[in-house]
Amino acid sequence: MGWTFRCKHCGRIVARNPRIKSGQRYCRLPGCQGARKNAWRLDKNQKDEGYRKKRSASNKRWRKHHFAHTYQQKYREMHPEYVVTNREKQKKRNEKRKNLQGSAKIVKSDALSAERLINPGLYALSPYTENSEGKIVKSDALMVQLSLIQYDATFFVQQMTGL
C-alpha cells in the first residue's frame, strides 16, 4: 500500500492516514468527508431495507413537527443576506417578464395558445407518419392526425353509460 492516494471527491493527491487500514478513498477536507458520508448513506439505503424504513420513519416524524413554511421563515430570519439578494433577483426576473409580450412569455415553444385551434367535438386519433416534406420535426413527439366524427349525442351517452 502506497503512502499517498488520490481523493475520490476533490481529486487531490494526499498522504494516507496510517490509522485507516482498509484503503482510504477520501481526504480530510469537510467537503470530501461530506461526500464520503453521502456515498455511504446512498449505498446503505439501497442495500439495507431496515435502514431505509428507519430513515423514512425518522423523516416523517421530523416533517410532522417541522412544517415547510416555518422552516423557510426561520431560514430567512437567520440569513438576512439571502432575503436581500433574493428580492433583488426577483425584481430582475419581474422586469424581464414585464418586457416580454404574448407568446414570448411562454417558455415551452410548442405550448398551445389561448385561442381555440380545434372546434369541440369527438375526434378519432390515428398515427401520422410524416409531413409533406417527409420529415418528422420532433423525434420524441407523438404526431397524430385528428379527424372529426359526426355523431348523435344521445347515442354516445347511451353507449358510455350502458343505458
pLDDT in tens, 111-139: 555 555 666 666 665 555 555 565 544 44
Within 10 A of 8 (CB to CB), how many other CB atoms are there? Answer: 14
Half-sphere exposure of 43 (CA within 13 A, CB side): 6
Averaged pLDDT of the chain = 78
Letter for the amino acid at 114?
Answer: A
**Torsion, CA 90, CA 92, CA 93, CA 96, rounded to 10:** 160
Distance in angstroms (rounded) separating the CA atoms of residues 125 and 143: 10
Q: Which of 18-27, 34-43, 63-72 has the highest mean pLDDT?
A: 34-43
